[in-house]
Amino acid sequence: MENESDLSIVLITMDRAAACTVLTRSDGKEARLPLEPSPFEDTSVLDRLDFSPAYGALLATTQSGDQVLFEVPLEEAGYQLAGRLVVYLDQNQWSLLSNAGRGTETSNDADRVAARKLKEWVEQRRIVLPASAGHYFETGKRFSTDKRYALGLTILQYSRGWQMRDPLQVRRNELHDAFCHRMDRPGSVRSAPVFTLAPDALYAPTRWTGTELTPTPQNRLAFQTEALRAACASIDVMLDTQRVEEGPDTGWVEASQSFSDWLDELDQDSQQKRRAIDIHIVKDLQQELAEEAAAADVPEELFRQWGFKGLVRAIGGSPAVGLFREMLQSRHLNKGTTWRRNDLTDMVYLSCAAGYADFVVCEKHMRDPLQHGLKRMGRSTQVYRRLNDAVAAIEELLEARFAPVSPTP
């Protein structure tokens, strides 16, 4: 008989239909507790949640019988990434993947083959396909409930809990760390992983009032509880039957179009125009620059001494915000550029992804300035327009990584 002190909880189940929480012990015995109040809203499609503490895995089952498996963080995200390639898909590529996975009329054989390969590599733990807050927003605002559910299910099933940290927080972390390095204080950098399982990384603290927990021996239970809550919420929100409304018009499109039109009429060369764009960027980021300089304990006098060139150097030398700067310059310098509402979202998320991922797949009008920026910054992220081309390149790299090594004679 197993010693009482050796017994542990091996499975925690929240059963919506039975209105109870079931705790299963390692000896097979169960304890049932009433699920009061119920965490399931009327618009939720979730029917059952199963969590295994030992394996760090959450399995969500919907009322339609579909299942979503999420990895839950047990240790540092860098350890759990374990050398897997990071492949970031723009929203249009997730739609293609969803259609291919369901075999709809809009998909073709090549798309379906690509979808199967990506799924295999995810399940084999060779790649991760992280979701971002942008994916949640773009999916949630779709009008068709059925299409919204199918797309959301695809993103959840392929991402398996992996997410890209909020680009606004990544931007702040980069600026903070750039200031720390400038003052020769490498021990003060944040170095927060961009692709992570950490709870609540999807949204920066500037968007909400919570604080991110870091796993330590002292708060292990609290961290696992928070990680489980965040994972359940992410799944539930993505599949919720209630549509997300469009956000308010911030006036960004009109301001950007006006600035581009002004540059088009300016009788200056590209270098002079680049400086004008840099002034525009620094003005736009002035609050983040000031707050992160203060957070990094940059003396006020030193901050003034760095001046405009020092701020541009901090921006341009950072992977994500540096690529954002390059994309913004490329588009503003392109005469006749027409700005659309989604352009800001696309640039913010794609520049963040391309700063740290191995592969990015996106539409041509964003791929071209992104590739140009990567080349100017000397970065190696591979960017593709077509999913099939990206899958072929991923396969080539995976084969090279796992190729057998010939024994030394």
CA distances to 14, 136, 388 from 49, in Å:
5, 21, 35
**Which of 165, 147, 143, 43 lies closest to 94 in space, CA to CA?**
147
**Which of 398, 358, 394 lies closest to 374 in space, CA to CA?**
358
> Taking a C-beta distance cutoff of 8 angstroms, is the pair 87, 390 a contact?
yes
Average pLDDT value for residue range 366-394: 95
Please check the confidence at residue 42 and state whether its pLDDT lies above 50: yes
The per-residue pLDDT for range 276-301, each reduced to its tens digit, is: 999 999 999 999 999 999 999 999 99
> What is the pLDDT of the chain when averaged over all its residues?
90
Please check the confidence at residue 384 and state whether its pLDDT lies above 80: yes
> Taking a C-beta distance cutoff of 8 angstroms, is the pair 223, 211 a contact?
no
> Taking a C-beta distance cutoff of 8 angstroms, is the pair 395, 117 a contact?
yes
- Residue 51 pairs in a beta bridge with 12, 58
Strands 359-361 and 382-384, by their bridges, are parallel
Q: Indicate the domain borders of the chain.
A: 39-162+201-239, 252-401
Please check the confidence at residue 105 and state whether its pLDDT lies above 80: no
Distance CA 138, CA 222 (A): 31
Sole residue written with tokens 């750039």: 178
- The answer to which of 102-116, 147-161, 174-188, 382-396 has the lowest mean pLDDT is 102-116
% helix / strand / coil in the chain, to the nearest 5?
50, 15, 35
Sole residue written with tokens 């915000």: 321
Sole residue written with tokens 């990544």: 170
Distance CA 113, CA 391 (A): 10
pTM for the full model?
Answer: 0.91
Please check the confidence at residue 261 and state whether its pLDDT lies above 80: yes
Coil, strand or helix: which one is 131? strand
Please check the confidence at residue 149 and state whether its pLDDT lies above 70: yes
pLDDT for res 375 = 95
What is the DSSP secondary-structure string of 172-186? HHHHHHHHHHHTT-G
Please enumerate in sequence order all residues whose Cβ is within 8 A of that of 205, keeping only pairs 6 or more positions apart, or say none: 169, 211, 212
